[in-house]
Amino acid sequence: MVGMRATLLYGAGDVRVENVPDPVLKLPTDALVRVSAACVCGSDLWPYAGMPAGRPPARMGHEFVGVVEDVGSEVRTLGKGDLVIAPWIISDGTCVFCLEGRQNACERFSMWDLEAEEGGQAEAVRVPFADGTLVKVPAGVDAALIPSLLTLSDVFGTGHHAAVAGGVAPGSTVAVIGDGAVGLLAVLSAARLGAERIVLMGRHRARTDLGREFGATHVVSERGAEGVAAVRAILGGHGAPVVVEAVGTRAAYDQAVGVVRAGGTISRVGVPQYEEAPIGIDSLFLRNVRLVGGAAPTRAYIEELLPGILDGTLAPGRVFDVATGLDGVPDGYRDMAARTALKVLITP
Amino acid sequence: MVGMRATLLYGAGDVRVENVPDPVLKLPTDALVRVSAACVCGSDLWPYAGMPAGRPPARMGHEFVGVVEDVGSEVRTLGKGDLVIAPWIISDGTCVFCLEGRQNACERFSMWDLEAEEGGQAEAVRVPFADGTLVKVPAGVDAALIPSLLTLSDVFGTGHHAAVAGGVAPGSTVAVIGDGAVGLLAVLSAARLGAERIVLMGRHRARTDLGREFGATHVVSERGAEGVAAVRAILGGHGAPVVVEAVGTRAAYDQAVGVVRAGGTISRVGVPQYEEAPIGIDSLFLRNVRLVGGAAPTRAYIEELLPGILDGTLAPGRVFDVATGLDGVPDGYRDMAARTALKVLITP
């Protein structure tokens, strides 16, 4: 084979697109997928900011949509030519947790980021447990929908997970911390589930404007104690019954604790960049604040969220504000880290 | 007035029963209550173990049942001679949170432990916000039920809160960490709500035997990694969907994290003796473990739990294994701290 182009992270701030060997089927449960579209994730920015020195380069990309090129002998549900969505979690589809829709706890759990030789920011990928991992899209889909389909890999499903785990229902009041793609799609998801008041905390005007279009009724640009006071002022002083934390920093967690109402729920979907944090008497315990959420089993939500994309009522793909080929990926990382790009779409 | 006897904590390990002035009505919303029965709480043992030096002596006791002696001019629902249960929280009964049954977030929240001149381990008490705080028991109750009624002040309501917050329902599988009064009454509460499998983690045989009578189907005496392995072995390897943490130490929290199933719930009611603890990727986030519970609004549960006590189907008062007059209170603290007494009933 002639090889292909793929994205590798060599160290903090050092992303390169290089020639690598073509992927090949290794196990009978594998599929080979030619990538139609991929993207850079907010969570890619954590290793991009601080990858420890001395590690071998890592293949990047855990969100992609593509076309099946070949399948192993045990793959039952997919065939050559199928358009598929690849969730950010590799899951076997058969264990007790997968059957419950908890792919995040799959007994054979893996992630693209843990697969040394695979990654979605590339021309093609070998997909383990193809029946369990991939979801087939109905044939004949308009190519213009691909960006929105791509959000089902991770960011839309993650925003939806935040809203569902937080218990958002018709009439809910929700505060969303973070105006990245996940925060904005948590706004869209909360609105879809019937939330009436949605306060978006973010300070990038272009993003919060999109948040308003997605359903945010209020925007708070202040942070810290001022941000907490602003949210409480909007909500009549008692705080938000549901708070979505869509950033992952300790500061964002502290913001959530400050904004949440007594008896309310903090739903976390930002990947925590901390292990310990306050959960004692003053932070959660006395007020009976619930802490929920976590890594989103996005595969479990595709069936529910796909129809709205196919019929055009949902356009989560609007979070992509930059599109590039593979050669533009290093610039894409740089621009997302600098917050000048919201989310970068890659068409290899 | 001639004064009365009351319990004071002077410092770590130093509890005394002394003569103090009789309580008097101070505000028109106050009631005066003659204490029929009070008790020592597991949470009293935290200041008993480690009260900082240099503090003025503290009046003790936040669980009591008594008879109303006098009421202020604005008290509407109570009168002289009423038998009342005093929850551990003083609450106004009129704020938005009280109306929701969240007395733990009452806008005028107080606790007996915060009232410098009041405490239930005494002959009499001034009760602030009497209409909001106290719950009247129907006239003519058998005196033999008083120990069980007393558990509605705190420990039974707290055990019930743990089960409710944890989402216990018919058929549930629950692990309860801690064989103190709250842990045992969490077992009783889980069984009452229909749990089918209840694993009690504790190592005091007399207590765990009572736990079995309350509904525990399994007892695990090991702690730490061995305890986690034992619970998982009983439950088929995946852990407990609901874990009640009824101790409050960091070790008990870590035990809960180890025992809980992916997607499951840790319901905390042990007063946390820590502020920060692990909640990041490896502990809660990846597995989507929910952290719920907190200070129990026990007043809100009395209406639901009282009938079972009155008709004899529930006997939570069995957690009292020692009874004493006021003079025996210092020994009661010592014996509870030494774990030779489970819970000490005081009849002044």
Whichever domain contains A176, its CATH number is 3.40.50.720
Taking residue A170's Cβ as centre, other Cβ atoms within 10 Å add up to 8
Q: Which residues touch B172 (CB under 8 Å, ≥6 apart)?
A: B190, B193, B194, B195, B196, B197, B241, B242
- Answer positive or negative: Cα dihedral of A11, A17, A18, A23: positive
User: Which residues sit opposite A344 in a β-bridge?
Assistant: A322
Which tokens is B141 given? Answer: 């109750």
pLDDT for residue A225: 96
Helix (H) / strand (E) element for B191: namely helix B181-192
CA–CA min distance B272, chain A (Å): 6
Question: Residue A276: its chain B contacts at CB < 8 A?
Answer: 276-280
Q: Which domain holds residue A104?
A: 4-154+297-346
- Cα(B17)–Cα(B330) distance, rounded to whole angstroms? 8
- Please tell me the total number of residues recorded for chain B in this structure: 348
Question: Residue A285: its chain B contacts at CB < 8 A?
Answer: 268, 271-272, 293-295
Tell me whether strands B344-346 and B31-39 are parallel, antiparallel or unpaired: antiparallel
Direct distance between the N- and C-terminal alpha carbons of chain A, in angstroms, rounded to an integer: 18
- Answer positive or negative: Cα dihedral of B205, B206, B211, B216: positive
Option in B165, B238, B288 nearest A293 (CB): B288
Direct distance between the N- and C-terminal alpha carbons of chain B, in angstroms, rounded to an integer: 18
Residue ranges in chain B modelled with pLDDT below 50: none
Query: Helices A181-192 and A155-165, interaxial angle, to 10°?
Result: 50
- The answer to whether B278 contacts chain A (CB < 8 Å) is yes
Residues A127 and A51 in one domain: yes
pLDDT for residue B52: 82
- The answer to whether A101 contacts chain B (CB < 8 Å) is no
- Please tell me the total number of residues recorded for chain A in this structure: 348
pLDDT for residue B51: 85
pLDDT in tens, A88-146: 999 999 999 999 999 999 999 998 877 778 899 999 999 999 999 999 999 999 999 99
Overall number of domains in chain A: 2
Return the HEC string of chain A. CCCEEEEEEEECCEEEEEEECCCCCCCCCCEEEEEEEEECCHHHHHHHHHCCCCCCCEECCCCEEEEEEEECCCCCCCCCCCEEEECCEECCCCCHHHHCCCHHHCCCCEEHHHCCCCCCCECEEEECCHHHHCEECCCCCCHHHHHHHHHHHCHHHHHHHHHHHCCCCCCCEEEEECCCHHHHHHHHHHHHCCCCEEEEECCCHHHHHHHHHHCCCEEECCCHHHHHHHHHHHCCCCCEEEEEECCCCHHHHHHHHHHEEEEEEEEECCCCCCCEEECCHHHHHCCCCEEEECCCCCHHHHHHHHHHHHCCCCCHHHHCCEEECHHHHHHHHHHHHCCCCCCEEECC
| Phi and psi based region of residue B81 (left: phi greater than 0; alpha: psi -120 to 50; beta: remaining) | left
SS3 for B139? Answer: coil
Residue of B nearest to A289 (CA): B292
- Cα(B304)–Cα(B295) distance, rounded to whole angstroms? 18
Option in B272, B288, B291 nearest A104 (CB): B288
Residues B183 and B279 in one domain: yes
Residues A88 and A9 in one domain: yes
- Cα(A31)–Cα(A132) distance, rounded to whole angstroms? 11
Residues B168 and B277 in one domain: yes
Residues A119 and A144 in one domain: yes
Whole-number Cα distances in Å, A53 to A48, A112, A273, B328: 12, 21, 18, 65
pLDDT for residue B123: 97
Give the model's confidence band at A52: pLDDT under 50 very low, under 70 low, under 90 confident, else very high: confident
Residues B14 and B58 in one domain: yes
pLDDT for residue B117: 82
Residues A71 and A118 in one domain: yes
Taking residue B5's Cβ as centre, other Cβ atoms within 10 Å add up to 17
Residues A149 and A180 in one domain: no
Residues A288 and A316 in one domain: no
Domain of B37, CATH number, reads: 3.90.180.10
SS3 content of chain B, % helix, strand, coil (to 5): 35, 25, 40
Secondary structure letter of residue B151 according to DSSP: G
Complex prediction ipTM = 0.96
Residues B289 and B308 in one domain: no
Residues A150 and A11 in one domain: yes
Whose tokens are 């192993």? That residue is A72
Residue of A nearest to B111 (CA): A286
- Cα(B195)–Cα(B188) distance, rounded to whole angstroms? 10
Burial class of A70 by CB neighbour count within 10 A (0 to 12, 13 to 18, 19+) = middle
CA–CA min distance A277, chain B (Å): 5
User: Which of A248, A277, A293 delimits the end of a domain?
Assistant: A293
- Cα(B242)–Cα(B42) distance, rounded to whole angstroms? 23
Q: What is the CA radius of gyration of chain B?
A: 20
- Cα(A4)–Cα(A169) distance, rounded to whole angstroms? 46
pLDDT for residue B53: 80
- The answer to whether B274 contacts chain A (CB < 8 Å) is yes
Secondary structure letter of residue B326 according to DSSP: G
pLDDT for residue A197: 98
- The b/e string for A153-163 (b: 16+ C-beta within 10 A; e otherwise) is bbbbbbbbbbb
- Residue A271 sits at φ, ψ, to 5 deg, of -65, 120
SS3 for B309? Answer: helix
Option in A96, A263, A295 nearest B285 (CB): A295
pLDDT in tens, A11-47: 999 999 999 999 999 999 999 999 999 999 988 998 9
- Cα(A114)–Cα(A97) distance, rounded to whole angstroms? 20
User: Which residue, among A245, A226, A237, has the nearest Cα to A174 in the 3D structure?
Assistant: A245
Residues A150 and A9 in one domain: yes
Burial class of A264 by CB neighbour count within 10 A (0 to 12, 13 to 18, 19+) = buried
- The answer to whether A111 contacts chain B (CB < 8 Å) is no
Alpha carbon A62 to its chain centroid, in Å, reads 9
Residue of A nearest to B95 (CA): A238
Q: Which residues touch B284 (CB under 8 Å, ≥6 apart)?
A: A291, A294, B257, B278, B291
